[in-house]
Structure 1
């Protein structure tokens, strides 16, 4: 059965790659480019998984993770953070915010799909 995956990413190339990979593995995908729309779009879509870029214009992916986890209807969906910003302690902060997984960019396609499958 297809799982619903919300992809939050402002970079068009990364967004296309993530969505194409997920669709190729049979998932239903909703792409969100503007972090300001994430909670509203997530409530409408009710994803089984959220893939969250951390560096977004207008709002931090960390703040969005916290907001999604604070919403009772959305809190059950696991969140996989994907970010190029991989400084010391970042993974800990991202996990403390509520993300269940963390993948650094540039992604390994195999690792990306393994993480998605593990969370679903």
Structure 2
């Protein structure tokens, strides 16, 4: 299971990601509209991977990371940052906060599928 944490303005991105994942059987994408919901979902479902929009409407991806990294039940959760910003300091800050990778938007469909396949150990 993947959880994508994005604000409602990022709903288009969720639809795009769903379309890029639809051919994989057994890969389920669920979306959380805010940090609080995302943390609750992460605790409840222990997803295989979280796709985290770093610039949420009411909070930042760093808020989510701080919450999940401080809880032993989600401290080792695998998280990939998604952001339109590729500024080196933002990438570095996200990596220091605990993301395993940082993918910039707009997402390249082929690279996205390869990355997801690698991270979930499923063929792309």
Give the TM-score normalised by the residue count of structure 1: 0.88
- Which consecutive unaligned segments of at least 5 residues does structure 1 have? none
Moved more, 73-82 or 94-103: 73-82
Shift of 1:53: 0.2
CA shift at 1:55, angstroms?
Answer: 0.4
Residue 100 in 1 paired to residue 100 in 2? yes
SS of the aligned residue for 1:47 comes to coil
Change (3 A) 1:99 1:78: same
Q: Deviations over 1:75-118 (max 9, x none)?
A: 22210100012223111111000000110001101111222222
In the alignment, which residue of structure 2 is the partner of 1:59?
Answer: 59
Q: Tell me, what secondary structure is at the counterpart of 2:88? A: coil
Query: How large is the RMSD of aligned CA atoms in angstroms?
Result: 1.4
Listed as ranges, the gaps of 5+ residues in structure 2 are none
Structure 1's consecutive aligned runs of 4 or more residues displaced over 6 angstroms after TM superposition are none
Q: Which residue of the partner structure matches residue 21 of structure 2?
A: 22
* 3-state DSSP of counterpart to 2:76: coil
Say yes or no: does 1:75 pair with 2:72: no
Q: In 2 relative to 1, CA 44–23 (structure 1 residues): closer, same or farther, beyond 3 Å?
A: farther
C-alpha separation between the residues in 2 aligned to 1:33 and 1:23?
21
1:74–1:22 Cα change, 3 Å: farther
CA contact (8 A) 2:35 2:63 kept: no
Counterpart of 1:57 in 2: which secondary structure?
A: coil
1:8 maps to 2:5? yes
What is the distance in 2 between the residues matched to 1:42 and 1:36?
Answer: 10
